[in-house]
Amino acid sequence: MATIKFKGNTTTTKGDIPIAGESLPDFLLTKNDLSKVSLKDFAGSRIVLNVFLSLDTGTCANSVRAFNKYAAELDNTQVLCISRDLPFAQSRFCGTEGIENAITLSDFASQQFGKDYEMEIVEGPLQGLLSRVVIVADENGKVLYSEQVQEASEEPDYQAALNALK
C-alpha cells in the first residue's frame, strides 16, 4: 500500500503505481460516448495519464485544464484524463471548459483500472476514488515518469511530467 494524504489526513491506496522502466498494464476505460477504449488504442503514441479524484474538485479541474493546454503543444502524445466520474459529467465539463486536446476517460464501469494500476484509495472518506497520479509513457507503453501526489488536494508537478517527454 502507498500512503497519501487528503487535507493532512493520512489514507492509503491499493499498492504502488507503475514506475519508470515498467510497462503499463492494459486497461479498458469508458469514453464520453460510452464506447470502450484500451491501451492498444493508443499504440504508437506517447501517453500522459492524468489521474484524479473527481472533476467536481477545483484541483482536479485545474489539472485537466493544464494538461489540455500542454497537450496542444506535444507531438505524438495523447493526454488521457482519468477518473471515476460518469462519462456524462466528463462530457459536460469538457464542453463547458473547451477541453479539446485532452481525452477524458472513466473507470466507473469496471473500476479495474484503479485496481490494476494500484491507485485506488482503499480507506477513509475518499475510499473507492482514484488517487492523484501522473504517469508518462513512451510509444511502446514503457513508463518514463510517474508521480503519486502525496497531498491529494495539491496539483501534480506538470514540468517534471513534461520534461520526461523531451
Looking at the annotation, which residues are catalytic? 60
Amino acid at 84: R
Burial class of residue 125 (count of CB atoms within 10 Å of its CB; 0-12, 13-18, 19+): exposed
Cell digits of residue 163: 520534461
Bridge partners (DSSP) listed for residue 28? 38
- Vertex 84, ends 64 and 25: CA angle to 5°? 90
Amino acid at 154: E
For residue 112, report the phi and psi dihedrals to the nearest 5 degrees: -80, -35
- Distance between CA atoms of residues 118 and 44, nearest Å: 25
